[in-house]
Structure 1
Amino acid sequence: MASVFESVAKSVVRELDPKGGLIPVDSLWSSSSFRPYCLLARKLSSSWFWKPRYQCLNLSIRDILEPDAPEPDVERDIPFHIKDCVDGELQVKVELKALGQGKLAGGAAASASARASVSALRLRVPPRAWEAMSKERRLRRPEHKILQQVQRCGRDLFVVTEVLQTQEDLEATRACKQEGSGQFSLPGALRMLGQGQGHLNQEKTVTIPSGSTLAFQAALLVIGPDWEIYHIPSKNQRTFPLPKKDRKPASGLLSHISLSYFKMRLPSASADIVSDGDIEDQMPVTEDFQGLQVEAKVHADGLKDLSRELCGQMLAGLGQALREEQALEALEEALEQGLCCGGPVPPDAPGGAILECLVSSSGEVEEELARPILYLVQALTGLSETQRVLLAEALETGDLSRQLQLVHSVLEQSSPWQERRAVSLPQELLGGSWDSEAPAWVLLEECHLELQEDVPQVSWRPEAQGRTCALYSCLALLVPL
């Protein structure tokens, strides 16, 4: 069952801000960290198909400015109240009779409900506050250490300008119930009768404390001779100017990958992809499923030369990291630092078993191998904890190929992803069972998709794109390993 807190946050944002200005908070644990004026580092993404993630730094903008003084007060909008209740029920009965041969009958019922009553308030930093601060306060000298760390990793800094906060404790509940029954009779000398029934009930209730942040907005913090806030930054604007050297930070995306990787043919292209300039500008990666396939294949090709021994070591290390979110994030940071800053990787760096496969005899990261692994790790951190545990279990059994085909089918049928639609699921890819306990069901449900059991299908929604694409990329790189 998907995260109740995340579902509430996304539901409120869809109601208040359907154009997507507000960013939903993805976990109750981090909801207390997002406050007006707090600093965020945005983790760079190796993909065009899922959004970069924001990381709270437990610092306010006042911590990097002088003189040290409280930030100006925020504006408070009129409170609002949203009550969201959804109930659904489906019943099916089937009876088959064959003359002189017996009878087979069965029935199934499924119901689901979600309930939440939200009282919230929008807190916003007024524009005049930024104007006053920019005139009265300067960057600390020497600069705060956090600025140096963020710059070394090639990340951008943002400052929270607006939040959506709960005004009182709220209790959110999601529940689903499934029941089934069947009976049969077979005539003959030995008359056979049989019947059976079963049920499954699931319910999850979460109490969200008053003052929790459900969503936020952030503005880019640009550091030059001094500091500025950009609410609508240009595409190429960065917190820190790019260094004037050949090596770019990890945000360069596909521009870092060897040209040999791009000697591949698009499904509908008439010529091989060859670029003599900046690959990021010239490679025809489109923002659809074909583009995602190209992107994933490029990175998967980068791992083809790994020996069987190294593949086994890599998979063992990933299987362990998948069960520990902090270990996965630490591995991501170590890879970013190794790729962005160069130099040897510390021997005690996190993800030792994986890094051993990616480090040369001199202790430096092998870029040709490390970049595809960073792409994979970033995709994994974009999944939910439940999805990562399921992938770890599937790695142990080697049962990933069918899941890849299933996600492939969903993304292919739902394109263009900006439209809601019903997507049928191929029966042969569902295995022996298709219900809320099946791993394939949970993997898709955690992507914020609505699933049906009686007629296997998915209700596609645009907000599912990021996590579904990340899941596809994870599987596309893990299956060949």
Structure 2
Amino acid sequence: MFKRVTQSVVNQMDPRGDLVPVRSILDHEHFRPLCLVRRKKKAIFRSSPCYKRTWYTLDDVLLPGEDDKSTESLFPHGGGQDSSQYTIKKSARDRVDGSLSFCVNSTSIELKGAASLSKGWSIKLEKSHIPVPKLEALKTERKINVNHSFIQQLKKIQQDLYVVHEAIETSEEASYEESTEAEGSFVTQLFAKFCAKGTRENKQSITIPKSCTLAFRAIQLGITDGSWDLYYFPKENESTFVSDGFSQGQLGALEKEVKENCQIFSMLSSNLLVIFLKAIKAVMRDRNLFEELTQKMEAVLDETGSCELKTESPDLKDLLSSLQGSPRHLLLKLAEAIAYALDALDELTEYQLLLLLESLEKKIVSQQLKLVKSILEHDTEHGNGHFSMDASLLSSQEEEQKLTIAMVEMSGVKLQKDGSAVWTQEAFSAVAALYVSLYTLDLLSNSH
């Protein structure tokens, strides 16, 4: 829920800029001004950069200055808060009534019902920032402690480093609530195979504390010996420890990227494919498992030596055991592939993940992959527009058609049974994430 709020804040305040949403409320303190962050590996399916916390601030890795002046003096008004405040409000209520008829095992079933979704919030915000000229002045006053263990490790693995210089924070406590109601002779969120009478109500809410960071801006650092610099316009070959650019392509670039990252899955034995698929399906159902596997893969990629992979989860135990016994070079490739796949799955909605799981059960993932690829052959990256595609790429089974159409629409492309379609603005990233997810599941299910 927090991720939906922060993304909405960024969309309203800076839809075309470089403001980055904080993805987890547990990490918000690590994205305040002067915090050091690392940028995750670039991926075409991400519309904005994604950063990871480091637990350190710029002050932690700088040598003391001559006057031992506190970095608090870098902030305007001494405390970091901007005098200007902003209030963002959002509310929505949708209601859908309808019916559906289909056959299961020669039995005709008619489903009738109504569903409503409401959500709303109002948040007061203020900007916390350090003027860039003051950061520039700090470069001459204080040097980097190149003997700091964190700096030494980053240099060894050649990881780029960024410093947060601006953050959007809540100026008072705020609440966000979602409420879903469904009633009638059939109550479900998916294409589940059960029928019941009754009413279902689901409410979710989150309280966002005062001074919680919702979004931020960061600048790449350049470190040479004890000196440091700020890269305002980093070039493609410019990294932190020498002395990041990104060109978003269309389908060709996406296919190249996904093959480079995931082709290692095609080299796995049948037994390992079963183990890998079982773990991925488990994390798609359980957010806690998703976070656990993500953190362990990042630990493998960040670790310069050996990394012990243990878990209390029976769903992840076989996967982590197989990785633990792999040679180091193979372990890194597999961890990179898993992390890349998880990043793509993380861009999908909760309902899309459930629809993907059902698609696996119905063995239609390979067909869906061809469909999504055909969508990406059109210019979904720019503007709004209509296009037509081969309707035969949709399953001939009505229930499977509905499932696929619903999943694609959640990525911003409205699709009709006759092959006509319309994409919404900036649908490319969402459709690309769906393509990567389908590609990965197709490889792991060995369906081709």
Task: Flag whether TM exceeds 0.5 (same fold).
Answer: yes
| Cα separation, partners in 2 of 1:179 and 1:412, compared to 1, 3 Å | farther
Aligned to 2:104: none
| Cα separation, partners in 2 of 1:396 and 1:148, compared to 1, 3 Å | farther
Aligned to 2:266: 304
Cα deviation, residue 428, structure 1: 5.3
Aligned to 1:137: 142
- The answer as to whether partners of 1:394 and 1:400 remain within 8 angstroms in 2 is no
- The answer as to whether partners of 1:405 and 1:429 remain within 8 angstroms in 2 is no
Cα deviation, residue 216, structure 1: 0.4
1:55-454 alignment, distance < 5 Å: 55-67=52-64, 69-71=69-71, 72-75=73-76, 76-92=82-98, 108-140=113-145, 142-180=146-184, 198-225=198-225, 226-241=227-242, 287-297=249-259, 299-316=261-278, 318=280, 323-335=289-301, 337=303, 346=306, 348-349=308-309, 354=319, 363-366=327-330, 370-371=332-333, 374-384=336-346, 399=361, 401-403=363-365, 405-406=367-368, 409=371, 412-413=374-375, 415-420=379-384, 426=394, 431=399, 445=410
| Cα separation, partners in 2 of 1:392 and 1:94, compared to 1, 3 Å | closer
Matched, 1:10 2:14: no
- The answer as to whether partners of 1:444 and 1:468 remain within 8 angstroms in 2 is no
Deviates more, 1:113-122 or 1:404-413: 404-413
Q: Which amino acid aligns with 1:312?
A: V
Distance 2:336 2:245 in 1: 13
- The answer as to whether partners of 1:314 and 1:357 remain within 8 angstroms in 2 is no
Cα deviation, residue 207, structure 1: 1.1
- The answer as to whether partners of 2:344 and 2:433 remain within 8 angstroms in 1 is yes
Based on CA coordinates, which of the two structures has the bigger radius of gyration? 1
Percent sequence identity is: 25
> Secondary structure of the residue that 2:329 maps to in structure 1?
coil
Cα deviation, residue 137, structure 1: 0.5
| Cα separation, partners in 2 of 1:413 and 1:315, compared to 1, 3 Å | closer
Q: Which amino acid aligns with 2:45?
A: F
Q: Which amino acid aligns with 1:375?
A: A
Cα deviation, residue 421, structure 1: 6.2
TM-score normalized with structure 1 length: 0.68
| Cα separation, partners in 2 of 1:69 and 1:354, compared to 1, 3 Å | farther
Aligned to 2:106: none
Task: Summarize deviations over 1:256-308 as a string: whole Å, max 9, x none.
Answer: xxxxxxxxxxxxxxxxxxxxxxxxxxxxx982234323433455544333322
Q: Which amino acid aligns with 1:293?
A: E
> RMSD in angstroms over aligned alpha carbons?
4.6
Matched, 1:49 2:9: no
Distance 1:216 1:110 in 2: 36
Task: Summarize deviations over 1:73-99 as a string: whole Å, max 9, x none.
Answer: 42314111122122233445899xxxx
Cα deviation, residue 112, structure 1: 2.4
Distance 1:354 1:480 in 2: 16
Distance 1:119 1:11 in 2: 14
Distance 1:418 1:377 in 2: 28
Distance 1:11 1:393 in 2: 24
Task: Summarize deviations over 1:84-123 as a string: whole Å, max 9, x none.
Answer: 122233445899xxxxxxxx99864333222111110112
- The answer as to whether partners of 2:236 and 2:245 remain within 8 angstroms in 1 is no
> Secondary structure of the residue that 2:30 maps to in structure 1?
coil
Q: Which amino acid aligns with 2:220?
A: L
- Paired positions, count: 403
- The answer as to whether partners of 1:124 and 1:161 remain within 8 angstroms in 2 is yes
Task: Summarize deviations over 1:342-393 as a string: whole Å, max 9, x none.
Answer: xxx62735688557756898x4313xx8536513422304534996999699
| Cα separation, partners in 2 of 1:241 and 1:196, compared to 1, 3 Å | closer
Distance 1:477 1:466 in 2: 17
- The answer as to whether partners of 1:33 and 1:56 remain within 8 angstroms in 2 is yes
Distance 2:3 2:386 in 1: 23
Distance 1:39 1:477 in 2: 32
Aligned to 1:272: none
In structure 2, list runs of 5 or more residues that go unmatched. Answer: 77-81, 102-108, 187-194, 311-315
Q: Which amino acid aligns with 1:82?
A: I
Deviates more, 1:129-138 or 1:109-118: 109-118
| Cα separation, partners in 2 of 1:301 and 1:334, compared to 1, 3 Å | closer
- The answer as to whether partners of 2:184 and 2:199 remain within 8 angstroms in 1 is yes
Cα deviation, residue 418, structure 1: 3.5
Distance 1:173 1:252 in 2: 38
| Cα separation, partners in 2 of 1:420 and 1:430, compared to 1, 3 Å | farther
- The answer as to whether partners of 1:318 and 1:354 remain within 8 angstroms in 2 is no
Cα deviation, residue 158, structure 1: 0.4
Distance 2:90 2:353 in 1: 32
Task: Summarize deviations over 1:219-249 as a string: whole Å, max 9, x none.
Answer: 001111310112332232211129xxxxxxx
- The answer as to whether partners of 1:400 and 1:479 remain within 8 angstroms in 2 is no
Distance 2:245 2:332 in 1: 14
> Secondary structure of the residue that 2:150 maps to in structure 1?
helix
Cα deviation, residue 146, structure 1: 1.1
Distance 2:272 2:110 in 1: 54
Distance 1:35 1:300 in 2: 34
In structure 1, list runs of 5 or more residues that go unmatched. Answer: 96-103, 183-194, 243-250, 254-284
Cα deviation, residue 43, structure 1: 2.2
Q: Which amino acid aligns with 2:336?
A: L
Cα deviation, residue 173, structure 1: 1.7
- Greater fraction helix: 2
- The answer as to whether partners of 2:44 and 2:429 remain within 8 angstroms in 1 is no
Q: Which amino acid aligns with 1:231?
A: Y
> Secondary structure of the residue that 1:479 maps to in structure 2?
helix
Q: Which amino acid aligns with 1:327?
A: L
- The answer as to whether partners of 1:49 and 1:287 remain within 8 angstroms in 2 is no
Q: Which amino acid aligns with 2:125?
A: A
Distance 1:461 1:65 in 2: 47
